A and B are shown apart, each in its own frame.
Chain A
Amino acid sequence: MSSMKDSVADAQSAGNTLLEIGALLMSSGASTHRTRVTMKRIAQSLGYGIELLITQRALMLTIIEKDQQYFFSRMKRISPLHPNFKMVSGISHLSWNVKEQNWGVEQIKDELQRLKSLPKYPRWLLLVMVGAAGAGFCNLFGGDALNMGVSFIATVAGLFVRQEAARKNFNPYLCVFFAALVASFLAGLSEHFEIGADPEKAVATSVLFLVPGIPLINSVTDMIDGNIQNGVVRAINGLMIAFAIAFGLFTSRMILNF
């Protein structure tokens, strides 16, 4: 009797850990295919069979124990996309360690804890580098040095606003709207005061840091892999972010043309 309890408890513990790994992967920016392959790899190495349903915001897992006597099913909510490639990379390592060095569930849990506590880049570095990316975009589109400077400042201000809005728990699309509004308004002022050769370029590039690169690229990747549903969901999410950017631009245009 106790051995049955043990195997059930083991399967439950493994199932919960697998769900956590899958949810972390999806919310960190991995594609559906990668999430499925990684979870299968870990489950097989632990000696379980699994069946999976992966959607954008929820995971469903059935884990079947070795001799097919016990199984365990559970659903888990996935938090919204919050890109974190350190997590994707760390979980990829973890899955190979489970396979090649026979890690157990306890070791996996410890490693997940460690990955979650990894430091992020300092905020000033993030602001400066994303600002530099904005200036870089401006150069790519043919802006001169002054336009690039305007784009840098507008991008930094926009990203700062987005971070603060996210901290105050605004709706994510609204955060993008605020950021686009502030960035394009600041860049639009340079149009007003005629700073640089082509101020329109600075306005166009000041909002590019908001472009939903991960949802759009993962959307096409998912569709190629046959995960059409997730691909469509990601595409619509990307479109909604694009509309939020457009709405921010529209509002700042209205204010500046007033």
Chain B
Amino acid sequence: MIVLEILTKAFWSGIAAVGFAILFNVPKRTLFPIGAMGAIGGFIKFGSMFLGIGIVLASFIGASLIGIISIQMAHMKKSPPLIFSIPGVIPMVPGAFAYRMMLGFIALIDLEDKDVYIQTLIDTVNNGAKMIFILISLAIGVSIPMLISRKETIKKLKETTN
């Protein structure tokens, strides 16, 4: 059952990636790979969370994988890697945490009870911290292949490995 649930989430991650790909006006030939990468990233992220890994690390693992596949895809589909990696990681963007943080701040405006205020503040800061760290781990994750290979363009990466 849990596998089915993870697969469903992976599928919808793929759909979300394609939606954003169209919003960013990507070339048509890259649409299918982007959907597949969004799904793979979602599968890895939710799979690792099921295995007990925290959401920040799980997002990082998913994003790194998307970063690595995007290099391969860039060679196959002749487009720069960012075209695959940015829409690919967007389903992992911590929207829920951002939303709860915003609602928390809005609630803080006119809370008067001290205990409720402190509890809301704790939740808000917690959600905000999660959001920021997930965002950073997504961005570092997708740039990992370029950081490790220390090459300016992926074309050189291919020449050296061949």
Contact A246 B102 (CB under 8 A): yes
Contact B102 A249 (CB under 8 A): yes
Kindly state the separation between the CA atoms of A195 and B89 in the bound complex, as whole angstroms: 30
B54 CB–A CB distance under 8 Å: no
A53 CB–B CB distance under 8 Å: no
Contact B93 A209 (CB under 8 A): no
Q: Which of A16-24, A69-77, A118-126, A168-176 contacts B (4 or more CB under 8 A)?
A: A118-126
Tell me, rounded to whole Å, the shortest Cβ–Cβ distance linking A14 to chain B.
21
Tell me, rounded to whole Å, the shortest Cβ–Cβ distance linking A160 to chain B.
13
A46 CB–B CB distance under 8 Å: no
Tell me, rounded to whole Å, the shortest Cβ–Cβ distance linking B147 to chain A.
7
Contact B25 A214 (CB under 8 A): no
Kindly state the separation between the CA atoms of A255 and B25 in the bound complex, as whole angstroms: 35
Please classify how large the interface on chain B is, using the bins under 10, 10 to 19, 20 to 34, 35 or more: 35 or more
Kindly state the separation between the CA atoms of A214 and B83 in the bound complex, as whole angstroms: 11
Residue in A31, A86, A120, A133 with the greatest tally of chain B CB atoms within 10 Å: A133
- Chain B window 77-101, contacts with chain A (Cβ cutoff 8 Å), 1 for yes, 0 for no: 0111011001001110101101110
Kindly state the separation between the CA atoms of A31 and B153 in the bound complex, as whole angstroms: 13
Please, which residues of chain B bring their CB within 8 A of the CB of A217? Answer: 86, 89, 138-139, 142
- Give the number of chain A interface residues (Cβ < 8 Å): 52
A26 CB–B CB distance under 8 Å: no
Contact B23 A209 (CB under 8 A): yes
Contact A216 B139 (CB under 8 A): yes
Q: Which of A5-13, A60-68, A104-112, A136-144 contacts B (4 or more CB under 8 A)?
A: A136-144
A92 CB–B CB distance under 8 Å: yes
Please, which residues of chain A bring their CB within 8 A of the CB of B78? Answer: 89, 93
Q: Considering the complex, which residues of chain B in the window 136-151 have a beta carbon less than 8 Å from any beta carbon of chain A?
A: 136, 138-140, 142-143, 147
A130 CB–B CB distance under 8 Å: yes
Please, which residues of chain A bring their CB within 8 A of the CB of B129? Answer: none
Tell me, rounded to whole Å, the shortest Cβ–Cβ distance linking A96 to chain B.
7
Option from B12, B14, B18 in Cβ contact (under 8 Å) with A135: B12
Residue in A129, A131, A242, A245 with the greatest tally of chain B CB atoms within 10 Å: A129
Contact A130 B138 (CB under 8 A): no
Contact A136 B25 (CB under 8 A): no
Which residue in chain A gives the minimum CB-CB distance to B107?
A: A253
A237 CB–B CB distance under 8 Å: no
Residues on B lying within 8 angstroms of A by beta carbon are 8-9, 12-27, 30, 42, 78-80, 82-83, 86, 89-91, 93, 95-96, 98-100, 102-103, 105-106, 135-136, 138-140, 142-143, 147, 152-153, 155
Residues on A lying within 8 angstroms of B by beta carbon are 29-31, 34, 37, 83-89, 92-93, 96, 120-121, 125-126, 129-137, 139-141, 203-205, 207-209, 211, 213-214, 216-217, 219-221, 224, 242, 245-246, 249-250, 253
Mind listing 12 A-B residue pairs with CB under 8 Å? A83-B24, A84-B24, A86-B27, A126-B23, A133-B20, A136-B12, A137-B95, A141-B96, A208-B93, A209-B23, A213-B20, A220-B140
Known: A30-B80, A207-B99, A242-B102. 19 other contacts (CB 8 A): A29-B24, A31-B82, A89-B80, A92-B79, A129-B19, A130-B23, A132-B16, A132-B18, A211-B90, A211-B93, A211-B95, A213-B20, A213-B86, A217-B86, A220-B135, A220-B143, A224-B140, A224-B147, A250-B102
